[in-house]
Amino acid sequence: MQNLGLIDTHAHLYSDKFEEDRSEMMQRAFDAGLSHIFLPNIDSSSIEPMLALEAAYPQQCFAMMGLHPCSVGKNMEEELALVKNWLEKRPFVAVGEIGLDYYWSMEFVEEQKEAFRRQSRWAMQLNLPIVIHARDSIDDLIELVEELQKEGPLRGVFHCFTGTLEQAQKIIELGFYLGFGGVLTFKKAGLDQLIPHLPLSKIVIETDAPYLSPTPKRGKRNESAYLLYVAQKMADIKGISLEELAQTLKTNSLALFDLSVLEDRIAFKSDL
């Protein structure tokens, strides 16, 4: 496969789901034409494996730092203190992934909102984008972003977007990008009806590996090489070549994630 320069803007390739074949999996991604892979953090347990993967592939893998809403609980203050410490210790490409998740539990909703506000403010202070997890919570997150933008310039991406056209248009008006992954290839998802109405200039693509494998790999472990299926589907919907799509999405992704902030990046290991 030629080097298309595809960029996976959201992948958890440090997951233990890749423990047995990680190097082979990474090579498959490069063979599929990927040039960059962005790694969102989950919580304190994922920092060390994430940074180890970034250190192993410093030209291709780029780490973010943040606390995932599903990891917000009674120890939130400890977790957020760790995130803040890391953001002060070394450069990251983004604060993420952060947001609200109403799918699994509503127990810590107010804590999730507080964690989102706090991490978003850190992102603004550092002039970094945020990567938003918005499961069953898009409207509340739009409201929070609007609230925070009154304090300063907040930018980023709503990852794994599966909302409505109205929500998508509002997000774009706020200056955010929309991230699309494997769900785009699902026949019943309806995203193929949404995409034609959205400007390609505000779209990026992702895998969210090891989750949400695209058709025809649905039900199997996802990996970054499968981004090709998402890209091809997007190109088909937009009526352009895969090469043209890849070039535009690369421009978008590198506008979203400014790699120049990493010029002084050092391969740290967690000191937990």
Provide the annotated binding site.
10, 12, 97, 133, 159, 208
Tell me which H or E stretch contains 47.
Answer: helix 44-56
Spatial contact of 200 and 178, defined as CB atoms under 8 Å apart: no
Residue at token pair 């994630």: 257
Q: Helix/strand/coil (H, E, C) string of 197-233?
A: HCCHHHEEECCCCCCCCCCCCCCCCCCHHHHHHHHHH
Spatial contact of 43 and 67, defined as CB atoms under 8 Å apart: yes
Binding region for a divalent metal cation:
10, 12, 97, 133, 159, 208
The strand pairing partners of 203, in sequence order, are 178
Spatial contact of 131 and 40, defined as CB atoms under 8 Å apart: yes
